[in-house]
């Protein structure tokens, strides 16, 4: 996600039930059929997951994250500061209703993690051993809130991000992230997706994966090696496209003169980051203008760009930031709830690297870094004068940041400064080798602070712990 406060801001295949999963055992496979009900603003969904136990433990249950419930009454989907941007028509609620869960062909009694139903617990009828797989089928309904957010409908778009139950990552148990009004509370494994979307015929749909029209108002999207699936639809969408190598970059927009320039910078970002980090391995990327209250949001093969940003430079900055997430979040995953800076810091820094190569947009590396320095210093000064002391640790989960400026400065801004210091210490060539190797080490996998430190230290040929720690623990003095 890009918080603007920082800068300026089921094709249900019966044989699958009978003979097990078709896909390779190392990753899960989601088949989802969703019907968009425009009048009721609901999504009626059938999901079948061929879940693979990639852990070393026998499992008695599989847990799923239910982000849709973060829009329910009693939850705080947005902080007070963003309330009016999020709810222009007044507060509105959304949620997920689970109708049934089957394990194989047996219906099971599912449970929720209380009190906010952030987790769906699916008990298995027998233990699932390592490398074994199980089919779990979930019928559910999404009630969309009238909110300019990842999941909800606004004046121009219906945003369907994080709408379906997604398996929690298993570490020493399932990782059960909470909800958070600051930041992206997401963490998932790379999987394959086959999604059918039934939608009103007068809408245009942007989505993750590769689209195939089945009939008017019916679309199939297939995505391999992606860690989530998102789609956005609008009656107003127009779309322009351009190829970068064999990648088709699409720009979905409405009410916008000169859309070509935003397609151009999107293409340049794909090219620049492919050169710097390693190739963008998917066949399409859609940059999608949406009703959204936080600047921008990343999903595999799809990024949302908020339609309330009117300043061209800011739109450019947000587009580049969100596209960098295709590498840091998309290909290389991490627990965004626990260690938000791991992807946000590196993504924000990648934006500086883009503007170092492409200086025609009014930014360059030094202006971006200098701006980060002064933004961070101002934050410390202002917070110190109000609170007497300011918590500067980056090493906090999303619920531990008390305010949005604290989250933004300690995660994005200071994360960017950390990587700037690293490049300063290692030199450009060695630093770029670190980035390329980091992508190779964790492509389609999940990283963490510890894994990132190990990868970078190995590539640099020296232990980088003290440098990382100074920033992450908050002991470095930035002045
Ligand atoms: Zn971001």
Please report, in angstroms and rounded to a whole number, the separation of the first and last CA atoms in the chain: 27
Residue 109 confidence (pLDDT): 98
Other Cβ atoms less than 10 A from the Cβ of 248: the count is 16
> What is the tens place of the pLDDT at every residue in 31-69?
999 999 999 999 999 999 999 999 999 999 999 999 999
- Domain chopping of the chain, boundaries: 14-326, 342-472
Residue 12 confidence (pLDDT): 33
Cα of 320 vs centre of ligand 1, distance in Å, is 10
**CB environment 95-117: b (16+ within 10 A), e (fewer):** bbebeebbbbeeebebeebeeeb
Question: Which residues lie at CB < 5 A from ion ligand 1?
Answer: 1-2, 344, 347
Residue 11 confidence (pLDDT): 32
Residue with tokens 């008695």: 60
Q: How far apart are CA 171 and CA 159, in angstroms?
A: 30
The SS3 call for residue 73 is coil
Residue 399 contacts residue 35 (beta carbons within 8 Å): no
Cα of 338 vs centre of ligand 1, distance in Å, is 15
Q: How far apart are CA 212 and CA 218, in angstroms?
A: 9
Residue 3 confidence (pLDDT): 65
Per-residue tokens: 40: 């009721």
Which architecture, in CATH terms, is 14-326?
A: Sandwich (2.60)
Cα of 297 vs centre of ligand 1, distance in Å, is 7
**CB environment 267-304: b (16+ within 10 A), e (fewer):** bbbbbbbbebbbebebebbbbbbbbbbbbbbbbbbbbb
Bin 469: left if φ > 0, else alpha if -120 < ψ < 50, else beta: alpha
Phi, psi of 92 (to 5 degrees): -145, 150
Residue 181 contacts residue 190 (beta carbons within 8 Å): no
Task: List all residues 6 or more positions away from 105 whose beta carbon is below 8 Å from its beta carbon.
Answer: 17
In degrees, rounded to 5, the angle at the alpha carbon of residue 323 between the alpha carbons of residues 144 and 192 is: 65
The interaxial angle of helices 340-357 and 365-387, nearest 10 deg, is 140
Q: How far apart are CA 449 and CA 321, in angstroms?
A: 20
Per-residue tokens: 380: 């410390």
What is the distance, to the nearest Å, from the Cα of residue 376 to the centroid of all Cα atoms in its chain?
24
Per-residue tokens: 326: 């295709």
Taking 50 as the pLDDT cut, the residues of the chain under it are 5-25
Cα of 186 vs centre of ligand 1, distance in Å, is 12
Cα of 20 vs centre of ligand 1, distance in Å, is 38
Residue 197 confidence (pLDDT): 98
Phi, psi of 36 (to 5 degrees): -90, 115
Cα of 322 vs centre of ligand 1, distance in Å, is 6
Per-residue tokens: 210: 């590769």
For 342-472, CATH number out of 2.60.40.420, 1.10.390.10, 3.30.70.120, 3.40.190.290 equals 1.10.390.10
DSSP code, position 117: T
Cα of 361 vs centre of ligand 1, distance in Å, is 20
Task: List all residues 6 or more positions away from 56 whose beta carbon is below 8 Å from its beta carbon.
Answer: 130
Per-residue tokens: 280: 């963008």
Cα of 201 vs centre of ligand 1, distance in Å, is 33
**Long-range Cβ contacts of 420-428 (<8 Å, 24+ apart):** 420/349, 420/352, 420/369, 420/372, 421/467, 421/471, 422/456, 422/464, 422/467, 422/468, 425/464, 425/467, 426/460
Cα of 251 vs centre of ligand 1, distance in Å, is 19
The interaxial angle of helices 428-442 and 414-426, nearest 10 deg, is 120
Q: How far apart are CA 150 and CA 163, in angstroms?
A: 9
Residue with tokens 């409405």: 254
Cα of 114 vs centre of ligand 1, distance in Å, is 29
Would you list the DSSP string of 13-45? Answer: -HHHHHH---S-TTS-EEEEEEEEETTTTEEEE
Would you list the DSSP string of 415-473? Answer: HHHHHHHHHHHH-HHHHHHHHHHHHHHHTTEE--HHHHHHHHHHHHTS--HHHHHHHHT
> What is the tens place of the pLDDT at every residue in 142-187?
999 999 999 999 999 999 999 999 999 999 999 999 999 989 999 9
Q: What is the three-state SS of 400-429? A: HCCCHHHHHHHHHHHHHHHHHHHHHHHCHH
Strands 133-143 and 210-215: unpaired
Cα of 43 vs centre of ligand 1, distance in Å, is 27
Would you list the DSSP string of 327-381? Answer: TBTTTEE--TTT-HHHHHHHHHHHHHHHHHH-GGGS--HHHHHHHHHHHHHHHHH
Residue with tokens 């619920």: 399
């Amino acid at each position: 996600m890009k918080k603007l406060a920082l800068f300026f801001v089921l094709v249900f295949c019966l044989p699958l039930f009978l003979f097990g999963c078709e896909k390779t055992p190392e990753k899960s496979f989601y088949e989802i059929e969703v019907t968009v009900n425009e009048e009721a603003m609901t999504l009626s969904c059938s999901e079948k997951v061929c879940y693979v136990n990639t852990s070393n433990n026998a499992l008695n249950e599989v847990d799923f994250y239910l982000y849709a419930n973060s829009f329910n009454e009693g939850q705080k989907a947005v902080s007070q500061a963003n309330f009016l941007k999020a709810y222009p028509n007044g507060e509105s609620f959304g949620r997920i209703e689970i109708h049934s869960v089957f394990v194989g062909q047996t219906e099971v009694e599912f449970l929720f993690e209380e009190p906010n139903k952030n987790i769906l617990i699916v008990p298995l009828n027998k233990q699932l051993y390592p490398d074994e797989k199980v089919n779990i089928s979930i019928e559910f309904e999404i009630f969309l809130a009238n909110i300019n957010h990842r999941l909800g409908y606004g004046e121009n778009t219906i945003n369907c991000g994080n709408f379906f139950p997604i398996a929690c990552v298993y570490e020493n148990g399932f990782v059960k992230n909470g909800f958070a009004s600051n930041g992206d509370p997401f963490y998932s494994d790379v999987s394959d997706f086959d999604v059918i979307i039934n939608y009103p015929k007068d809408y245009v749909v942007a989505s993750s994966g590769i689209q195939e029209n089945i009939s008017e108002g019916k679309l199939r999207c297939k995505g391999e090696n992606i860690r989530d699936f998102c789609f956005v639809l609008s009656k107003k969408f127009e779309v322009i496209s351009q190829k970068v190598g064999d990648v088709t970059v699409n720009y979905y927009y409405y009410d916008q003169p000169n859309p070509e320039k935003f397609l151009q910078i999107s293409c340049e970002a794909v090219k620049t980051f492919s050169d710097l980090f390693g190739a963008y391995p998917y066949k399409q990327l859609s940059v999608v203008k949406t009703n959204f209250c936080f600047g921008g949001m990343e999903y595999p093969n799809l990024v949302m760009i908020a339609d309330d940003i009117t300043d061209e430079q800011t739109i450019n900055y947000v587009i580049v930031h969100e596209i960098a997430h295709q590498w840091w979040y998309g290909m290389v995953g991490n627990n965004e709830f626990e260690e938000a800076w791991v992807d946000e810091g590196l993504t924000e820094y990648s934006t500086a690297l883009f503007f170092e190569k492409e200086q025609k947009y009014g930014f360059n590396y030094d202006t971006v870094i200098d701006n980060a320095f002064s933004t961070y210093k101002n934050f410390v000064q202002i917070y110190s004068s109000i609170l007497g002391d300011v918590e500067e640790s980056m090493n906090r989960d999303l619920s531990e940041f008390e305010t949005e400026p604290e989250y933004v400065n300690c995660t994005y801004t200071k994360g960017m400064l950390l990587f700037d210091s690293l490049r300063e210490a290692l030199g450009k060539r060695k630093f770029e080798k670190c980035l390329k190797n980091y992508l190779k080490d964790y492509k389609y996998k999940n990283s963490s602070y510890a894994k990132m430190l190990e990868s970078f230290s190995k590539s640099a040929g020296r232990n980088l712990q003290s440098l990382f720690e100074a920033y992450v623990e908050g002991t470095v003095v930035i002045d």
